Amino acid sequence: MDQKVKLLPRAVKELEALPSSVQDQIISKLELLGEFPFMGPAMFDAFEGYRALLVAKNRYRVIYRIVSGDTVEIAYIRRCSRQTHLRAIRTEE
């Protein structure tokens, strides 16, 4: 079953700001995400419920979540070098 892929306004802005060749690569991956919504690994801690998907030769990260049985919501798209704040560190308890 294909999922509906919905980009939030922030993700739309970020996608539109990219070169068209990169946009094409990301859109292709988003279409694949519609067929296989669990292909990105689950995130943890502060990002519980979200998944991350590397695209465009692993230079960009798509952060998304599955919001219902048929909808995938894209929260944002960022260059990986700008994503250092997403790397939550697990602490030993």
As a three-state string, the secondary structure of the chain is CCCEEEECHHHHHHHHCCCHHHHHHHHHHHHHHHHCCCCCCECCHHHCCCEEEEECCCCEEEEEEEEECCEEEEEEEEEHHHCHHHCCCCCCC
92 part of a folded domain: no
For 20-79, write each residue's pLDDT tens digit: 999 999 999 999 998 999 999 999 888 899 999 999 888 999 999 999 878 999 999 999
Range(s) of the domain holding residue 14: 4-84
- The reported pLDDT for the residue numbered 10 is 95
- The reported pLDDT for the residue numbered 92 is 52
- The reported pLDDT for the residue numbered 84 is 47
Binning pLDDT at 50, 70 and 90, where does residue 81 land?
A: confident
Alpha-carbon Rg for the chain, nearest whole angstrom, is 13
89 part of a folded domain: no
Evaluated on CA atoms 81, 85, 88, 93, the torsion sign reads positive
91 part of a folded domain: no
Q: What's the pTM?
A: 0.80
Q: In what order do the strands lie in the sheet with 4-7?
A: 4-7, 71-79, 60-68, 51-55
**Number of structural domains the chain divides into:** 1
Highest-scoring range by mean pLDDT, 11-20, 63-72, 84-93: 11-20
CATH number reported for the structural domain that contains residue 59 in this entry:
3.30.2310.20
51 part of a folded domain: yes
34 part of a folded domain: yes
